[in-house]
Chain A
């Protein structure tokens, strides 16, 4: 194909994204270096690194970084492991499989705010939640999920929301597994576990790569679920970087701090992406 046409195909997307990235990025960088509080216009002028300093000297900053990584890692592991197992399970034919598939996919359609509210109030609440009633029924005291295990609770909610997505991608991929290859392996006397590790899993590598990439991008800036349930607490147990930017910047309408936080988040995200790409390099390039 001729060069100019190639470029033309790609140009709109690259051009648009470039503008979309550069303009807000430039504005954010600019705002991060000035003192700018929407509610306090008396405060203005060049701030140097003060806004950045305010954030990384915040005692919640390092916990926020750790929490962000822990959150992403945990949800990835849960959704991919369970998603793969489910995809393998659902590949078998069983009664009403199509309907069951629809049920499994359903959580992904629900708005994150609503998911968080439902989990917090209807299921996990230690006085009138469903789990509490179940505990009472067998004579145990219910667990105060958000008070004692805040991170676990948030991870539970996020995994519930994203498992359908992982399942869908992996399931679509499994369905494209070459039947002949599998039948040949069966004839050769391969056991199910062996088949799983030597045939199924390698085939799923690209799909798993897709899931990891997309989930990481979204989980890096997860906000609504934390905001609705724990407000980053108790203490800083569930504060991630996005929530920190909100609580220290946006909540008090300090645009300087919020912008500095945004830049810091981008830096962190790029570091994560760098390592991620290295790990996934093989499955991103080349055909299986």
Chain B
């Protein structure tokens, strides 16, 4: 009898030991994430009962898959990578599990408050940020020095125009500035959203009437189109973040306003021909400093119908912890650790030494406020976006119209008029205008 009991216990415990939980993770294919996947066997070694299953795809496909999965509760994924845009929308619908019981060692206060607020709903946290970014100006110190120009600490868009004019040398293949032109709510509209904000414009007024056909937008878009036509590279309407990164890293552009995360690749001599020659400044302003630089984060969230929710949370906590950042630093150096999430990263002396962009990035991240993005009061959250589901559609339509103006196929006035109509239709269809 005793023997049987012992045998049974051994059997049961060995079965339990082999009963591994699988955590299926849906993630985006950016370098920080690829690095996480590479280091994840360390987590699996520490937690032998958890097995990680990775599904890594590009951003647009990820968004579509995750949204379909989470909103229909199909439970295909246990951990999903969400942006600052979707998280409050999904949380409001009750599609995400609240992140609870965070251990004190995780030091959740160390995570930037703007990110925590952006990823919460109704005071509860629904996602753990893995990566945060704002936008800033990157410029070629060597080209500036050659022309005797200095970048002020807070440049204005007027300054930018002057610099671009002085630095453009098309016969030598150097363009004064390159900016996003590829249509998309997260592509060109991310930058243009900030441009419009700082010129004093906004997407909607408090009554949800679109504000696109206004002097502020006209001034901003005219500035953008003229700047790019005179001092930008050809084919700008096909240039998104990646293409501009290539242009700048191969030395063809003197200035570039884009995500703070680009700085890591730009400063890596393996990936960039201009490493060591780049200076960093705050994103330029025009009439108002509000909303001049964006805030974005990719964060880990757990769908409500996830099958291995506890294991998923465990992994998410591990991947966004201070220890992980140390691990990544030991592996590929401080300049390429997941940026923009914790104060402690920026306070680290090694990080500051390895990353000439740390100070400007930090300032940008801390001053970007999605709850107060515009000069005038607005009914939505979001600096470079409007936090409603319909934005993905009309945001892209507006992006397409502006790309059309940039390509010279239509006038700025026409583009704005059509964009105004598109936003109005969307606001009506979505029932925002009462």
With A and B bound together, what is the CA distance between A126 and B247 in angstroms? 12
B304 within 8 A of A: no
What's the least CB distance linking A4 to chain B, in Å? 43
Within 8 A of A (CB), among B222-238: 233-238
Determine whether the beta carbon of B400 is less than 8 Å from that of A231.
yes
User: B326: which A residues are within 8 A, CB to CB?
Assistant: none
With A and B bound together, what is the CA distance between A40 and B233 in angstroms? 40
B14 within 8 A of A: no
What's the least CB distance linking A260 to chain B, in Å? 12
Determine whether the beta carbon of A252 is less than 8 Å from that of B393.
yes
With A and B bound together, what is the CA distance between A50 and B93 in angstroms? 25
User: A142: which B residues are within 8 A, CB to CB?
Assistant: 234
Which one, B67, B238, B425, contacts A253 given CB within 8 A? Answer: B67
Determine whether the beta carbon of A233 is less than 8 Å from that of B237.
yes
- Which of B24-32, B281-289, B406-414 forms part of the interface with chain A? B406-414
User: A236: which B residues are within 8 A, CB to CB?
Assistant: 400
What's the least CB distance linking A184 to chain B, in Å? 56
What's the least CB distance linking A85 to chain B, in Å? 32
User: B250: which A residues are within 8 A, CB to CB?
Assistant: 128
B303 within 8 A of A: no
Determine whether the beta carbon of B430 is less than 8 Å from that of A40.
yes
In the complex formed, the residue of A with least CB distance to B428 is A54
Most chain A CB within a 10 A radius of its CB, from B252, B392, B400, B404: B400
B183 within 8 A of A: yes
A206 within 8 A of B: no
Which one, B252, B394, B396, contacts A127 given CB within 8 A? Answer: B252
What's the least CB distance linking B393 to chain A, in Å? 4
Given known A-B contacts A54-B425, A125-B235, A233-B400, A251 and B392 have beta carbons under 8 A apart: yes
A83 within 8 A of B: no
Which one, B183, B238, B246, B429, contacts A120 given CB within 8 A? Answer: B238
Determine whether the beta carbon of A144 is less than 8 Å from that of B400.
no
With A and B bound together, what is the CA distance between A42 and B89 in angstroms? 12
In the complex formed, the residue of B with least CB distance to A142 is B234
With A and B bound together, what is the CA distance between A57 and B426 in angstroms? 12
Within 8 A of B (CB), among A244-269: 247-248, 250-254
B150 within 8 A of A: no
Determine whether the beta carbon of B89 is less than 8 Å from that of A235.
no
User: A147: which B residues are within 8 A, CB to CB?
Assistant: 234-238, 406-408
B397 within 8 A of A: yes
Produce 1/0 per residue, B239-277, CB < 8 A to A: 000010011001010000000000000000000000000
Given known A-B contacts A39-B89, A39-B389, A235 and B68 have beta carbons under 8 A apart: no
User: A40: which B residues are within 8 A, CB to CB?
Assistant: 389-390, 430
Determine whether the beta carbon of A43 is less than 8 Å from that of B407.
no
In the complex formed, the residue of A with least CB distance to B390 is A252
User: A254: which B residues are within 8 A, CB to CB?
Assistant: 390, 393, 429
Give B contacts to A, CB under 8 Å. 64, 67-68, 71-72, 89, 93, 182-184, 233-238, 243, 246-247, 250, 252, 389-394, 396-397, 399-401, 403-404, 406-410, 415, 418, 421, 425-426, 429-431
